[in-house]
Amino acid sequence: MCYIAIVFIIIYFKEVKKGKYMGVCNMKITVSLIKADVGGWPGHVRVHPRLIEAAKKKLSEAKNNGIIIDYHVFNAGDDLQLLMTHRKGTDSPEIHELAWNTFKEATQVAKKLKLYGAGQDLLSETFSGNLKGMGPGIAEMEFEERPSEPIVVFAADKTEPGAFNLPIFRIFADPFNTAGLVISPTMNLGFKFSIMDVYEGNIIDLNSPEEMYYILALIGQPGRFVIKYVYSRKEEIGIAAAVSTDRLNLIAGKYVGKDDPVAIIRGQHGLPAIGEITEPFAFPHLVAGWMRGSHHGPLMPVPLKYSQCTRFDGPPRIVGLGFQLAEGHLIGPVDLFDDPAFDLARKKANEIADYLRRHGPFEPHRLSAEEMEYTALPQVLDKIKNRWRKVAPKAKKAWAFGSLTD
């Protein structure tokens, strides 16, 4: 009898390692959205179908081996997007290594096809246990799956993580956007915003509505202060949104392409409705990025079929996919911006693009001097640096907000 019990325990833990019966040990679901630009076709326009095929094959093997529960592979412009569900928690070395190896295999395909910038977002040769600081963008969240669990994943191209600041704020703090903040007894408790200073590497938690003005004082400077997480202040609901915040130029120390952020948002039943989540994108607000990561442009909401940046490598695009979770399985997607209700937003984005393009190399179409320091422009100005002549005293300059660690 003792021998039989030992054999059963050994078999059980082998199955747990494969991913079976994991619900007994950990009922929480983790949703991971990890992206990288590993080769554009042509130039920086979109992802080649063979890269998507390679990624699907790799993730299918991982699903069959019990590493992940489910997956969905798609593109936002020239960025390869890996959406995965599993029970291994956030920052899992196993999941991050799976994504890394998937991007490496897709890079090999890109090199064979001589695609542009093959492997450009992979800033290291070898995986070191975690993808943070290695180039790929990551948005992850772990939570108890509710009886009905809708999620929306957003992926943007030709812009930076701060592009999500305005829409995320409107979703979770603006009653003119989200009616639930007024009429839902759960939602009018408010939300907690975790905001990251991407220059100092610090994070601060601020509560809405009572600290709304502090929140706006920070996130109104999206090049530096970026919303990382949003949490419901009703504790049993937990995390509501997660955004990738990696700035490639700050990691690499030089311009290697725009960051092209991703986000995951949970909806309904004490959280914003799907329509409240998509509503902010009906306004194509200005974001940094576009051509060579050096220009401001309107963020255009598009269906997957239009997720290709062609006009001046833009204008910046965002796609939104809706899923229902069922024991970690992804039911969907619904292409949320494949809807004539967003036609006016796209028309307005094109009008804004026309207006800005007429400025050519001048601000405000071109980024401010501080932002241009992290593009290729300094290499151009270096060629004429010895031709300056002193004619007036040097002006004093202070970085906006100074150092928040002082």
**Torsion over CA: 317, 318, 321, 327 (sign):** positive
- Shortest CA distance to 222 belongs to which of 368, 91, 332, 322? 368
Q: Is there a contact between 167 and 286 (Cβ–Cβ < 8 Å)?
A: no
38-90 residue pLDDT tens: 999 999 999 999 999 999 999 999 999 999 999 999 999 999 999 999 999 99
Amino acid at 156: A
Q: Using CA atoms, how far apart are residues 180 and 250, in angstroms rounded to an integer?
A: 38
134-186 residue pLDDT tens: 889 999 999 999 999 999 999 999 999 999 999 999 999 999 999 999 999 99
Contacts of 301 (CB under 8 A, 6+ apart): 278, 281, 282, 284, 317, 318, 319, 320, 337, 342, 345, 346
- What is the per-residue pLDDT for 2? 54
Active site positions, annotated: 37, 255, 258
282-337 residue pLDDT tens: 999 999 999 999 999 999 999 999 999 999 999 999 999 999 999 999 999 999 99
- What is the per-residue pLDDT for 373? 78
- What is the per-residue pLDDT for 168? 98
204-236 residue pLDDT tens: 999 999 999 999 999 999 999 999 999 999 999
Residues across the chain: 406
pTM of the model: 0.89
